[in-house]
Chain A
Amino acid sequence: MKKESILFLFLGVFWGLMGVVYWFWSRDVTGAVMLAGSVFLGLIPGLYLYYWYRRSGYHLRAEDRPDASIEEGAGVIDAFPDNSIWPMIFAIGCMFGVLALVFGTWLAIPAIAFGLSAMIGFTAESRRGGNI
C-alpha cells in the first residue's frame, strides 16, 4: 500500500503547490477553491491508504513484493456477487427520478417505487448471499 498512498499524496501535494502559486498570482477564487478541493481528494485517500499500511505494521502484501510467488497468494480472494437484477432496477429508478425533474413530479412515484424496491432487493440479496 506504500506506493499507492505515495501516488495519492504526491498528487495532493502537487495540486496544493499549484494552487498556492495560482492563488497568489491570480487571486481568482473559483479556481483556487476547486484546486483546494482537489488537494483534499489527493490527501484523504493517500492518508487513508498510508494509515492502513502503518496499521498492518508496514507489511508488504504479496502483490507489493517483486519476489512473491503465486503460491503466496493462495487462499480466498473475496466473495463476488452473482447475477443481480437490482442494479438495473435502481438505474431505472434513477432515470425516472431525473425525468421527474424535467416532466413533472408525478414521475417521482415510479422513481421511488423502483429505487426502494432495488434498495430492499440489494440488502436482502447481500443478507441471503444473494441471487435474483
Chain B
Amino acid sequence: MKSEHESLELIRRYIDGNASEADRQALQEQLRHDAATRRLFARYANIDATLGSGSIALRVSAHPTSRSTYWYSWRPLTAAAAGIVFGMFCTSVVFGFVVQRHGVKKTPLAVLQPSFEDAQMPLAKGFPPASSLWTGDAAKVVPAENGIMPKDGHHMLRLETAADGAPVLFPRLYQVIALPPSKTELREIEVSASFASADPSSSPHYSIRAYAVTQAPEQLGPEWFRHREEAIASAATGVDGPAGSTSWQTFGVRIQVPSKARSLVVFFGVRNQAKSQAKQPHYLDAVQVSLVESPRIP
C-alpha cells in the first residue's frame, strides 16, 4: 500500500494530465481497492473543479490589469478601413491594409467577420473544423439591444447565456487563422477584441487567448483544444467587466509566433465570477488580429 503522500502525487499527475499509463494503472488499482484513496481523489478533484469554475475569487484585487494586457484608445481598424476592405470572397474578410502608429506597423490578418456585420453568419458548434469560421457556444449576430450599442459597425455578436433554455456556463468562441509564410524567425501578432455584458451583476471576466501551432488549419480536429499544451507558443490575457457598467472593454494580447507556425487559434471567452448565472447575454465585437512590426533600433 502506498503512503498518502505517494497517492496524492499519483492523483496530482492524473488530475493535471501528467500521468503515464503506468501511473494510471497504479492509481486505478488503489482506487479499486481502497475507499480512502477514492475519498482523497474525489476531494482533490472537487477542489480542482471548484477553483476552475470561477465561483471563487482567486485574485486579491477586484480589478487588476494583466501585465500582458494592452489597452487601446484608438477606434477599431475595421470601421476606419471600410474603404480598403477588399470585396473578395463576398465576405467580411479584412486584410492587406497597414496602419502605422508611433512607428509600429500593424498589418491585419484575415479574420472572418471581425465585427459581425453579416446577420446570417453561420456559427458551428465546438472547435472550428476549418479556418475562417467562427465556432463555439450558442451565439447570434444582433443589432443594438439591451442598452448595448455595437462597438464597431451596426452589429455585434451576442454570446448566449442559455441554449435551448439550458445554461451555457462559460460562453466561448474560436477561430483558426491560417498564417501566411514568414521570412523572419519570430513575428509578433496582436489579438484584440471588445466585450460588453448586459448583466454586469454577473461580474464577468473576459479573456482572450492565442495559440500558435505548426499544423495547417485543416489538420486541427475537434480534439485539438484538449491538446493545446502542444502549441509552440501561446499568450493570454483577461480583464474584469467593470462593476455595474455595461460599457465595452477593449483589450488585447500579443504573441511571439515562430516562423514554423502555420495556424493561429484565437479564443474569446467569458466567465461569470458571481455565483449566480448571468441573466442577460454578453457581447463580442471589433475583433482584430494583426502582425505587429516595431521600428528597428538604429
Verify that A and B bind, or say they do not: no
